[in-house]
A and B are shown apart, each in its own frame.
Chain A
Amino acid sequence: MTVYCLYIFNRYGECLLYRVYKRTYAPRDPGDEQKNMYGMLFAMRNFCQKMSPAQAAESDGKGLTQREVQAHLQYYVAGNYALHYFETPTGLRFIMTTGTQFTGFDVNQCLRRIHARLYVEYVVSNALYTPGEPIQSALFLEKLDAYVKALPIYE
Chain B
Amino acid sequence: MARRETGRLSWVAKKQASGAHKRSQSVRGMEAGALPAGVGAGSGAPAGSAGYGAAMAVAAAAPGAQASPTPGSTLNILDQPLARQRGEVSLSAYLLLFCELVAYSRNRVSSVVALEARLAAVGYRVGERALEYVCAKSGKPLPRETRILGILNFVVTNLWRFLFGKNADSLKKVGNSDAEFYIEEVEPLVNTFVSVPKDFGALNCAAFQGGIVHGILSAAGFECEVTTYVRDDSSKPGSAEVTMYYIKFSNEVIQRERRLAG
Which A residues fall within an 8 A CB radius of B?
121-122, 125-128, 130, 136-140
Q: Which residue of A lies closest to B196 (CB)?
A: A128
Task: Flag whether B102 is at the interface (Cβ < 8 A).
Answer: yes
Task: Flag whether B200 is at the interface (Cβ < 8 A).
Answer: yes
Q: For residue B193, which residues in chain A have a CB less than 8 angstroms away from its CB?
A: 121-122, 125-126, 139
**What are 6 A-B interface contacts by the 8 Å CB criterion?**
A122-B193, A122-B195, A125-B193, A127-B190, A128-B195, A128-B205
Task: Flag whether B194 is at the interface (Cβ < 8 A).
Answer: yes
Contact A127 B197, beta carbon cutoff 8 Å: no
Q: For residue B197, which residues in chain A have a CB less than 8 angstroms away from its CB?
A: 128, 136-137
Chain B interface secondary structure, helix, strand, loop or mixed? helix
Tell me the complex Cα distance, A130–B102, Å.
11
Contact A130 B103, beta carbon cutoff 8 Å: yes
Q: For residue A130, which residues in chain B have a CB less than 8 angstroms away from its CB?
A: 103
Task: Flag whether B67 is at the interface (Cβ < 8 A).
Answer: no
Contact B205 A127, beta carbon cutoff 8 Å: yes
Q: Which residue of A lies closest to B92 (CB)?
A: A125
Task: Flag whether B192 is at the interface (Cβ < 8 A).
Answer: yes
Report the stretch among B93-101, B167-175, B248-256 that lies at the interface: B93-101
Interface centre among A121, A127, A140 (most CB of B within 10 A): A127
Task: Flag whether B186 is at the interface (Cβ < 8 A).
Answer: no
Task: Flag whether B203 is at the interface (Cβ < 8 A).
Answer: yes
Tell me the complex Cα distance, A76–B98, Å.
41
Contact A125 B95, beta carbon cutoff 8 Å: yes
Contact A127 B103, beta carbon cutoff 8 Å: yes
Partner of B102, one of A121, A122, A127, A138: A127
Q: Which residue of B lies closest to A120 (CB)?
A: B92
Q: For residue A128, which residues in chain B have a CB less than 8 angstroms away from its CB?
A: 102, 194-197, 200, 203, 205
Q: For residue B195, which residues in chain A have a CB less than 8 angstroms away from its CB?
A: 122, 126, 128, 137-140
Q: For residue B203, which residues in chain A have a CB less than 8 angstroms away from its CB?
A: 128
Contact B196 A125, beta carbon cutoff 8 Å: no
Contact B103 A126, beta carbon cutoff 8 Å: no
Tell me the complex Cα distance, A125–B92, Å.
8
Tell me the complex Cα distance, A126–B193, Å.
5
Q: Which residue of A lies closest to B95 (CB)?
A: A125
- In the assembled complex, how far is the CB of residue A141 from the closest CB belonging to chain B, in whole angstroms? 9
Tell me the complex Cα distance, A136–B190, Å.
19
Interface centre among A121, A128, A136, A140 (most CB of B within 10 A): A128
Q: For residue A125, which residues in chain B have a CB less than 8 angstroms away from its CB?
A: 92, 95-96, 99, 192-193
Q: Which residue of A lies closest to B106 (CB)?
A: A128
Q: For residue A127, which residues in chain B have a CB less than 8 angstroms away from its CB?
A: 95, 98-99, 101-103, 190, 194, 205
Q: For residue A121, which residues in chain B have a CB less than 8 angstroms away from its CB?
A: 193
With A128-B203, A130-B103 given, name 15 new contacts (CB 8 A): A122-B193, A122-B195, A125-B92, A126-B99, A126-B193, A127-B95, A127-B98, A127-B99, A127-B190, A128-B194, A128-B197, A128-B200, A139-B193, A139-B194, A140-B195
Tell me the complex Cα distance, A139–B95, Å.
17
Q: Which residue of B lies closest to A133 (CB)?
A: B197
- In the assembled complex, how far is the CB of residue B11 from the closest CB belonging to chain A, in whole angstroms? 52
Q: Which residue of B lies closest to A125 (CB)?
A: B193
174-217 of chain B: CB within 8 A of chain A: 190, 192-197, 200, 203, 205
Q: Which residue of A lies closest to B203 (CB)?
A: A128
| Chain B 90-117 interface 0/1 with A at a Cβ cutoff of 8 Å (1 = within) | 0010011011011100000000000000
Q: For residue A140, which residues in chain B have a CB less than 8 angstroms away from its CB?
A: 195
Q: Which 10 A-B pairs have the closest CB atoms?
A: A139-B195, A127-B102, A137-B195, A125-B193, A127-B99, A125-B95, A121-B193, A138-B195, A127-B194, A122-B193
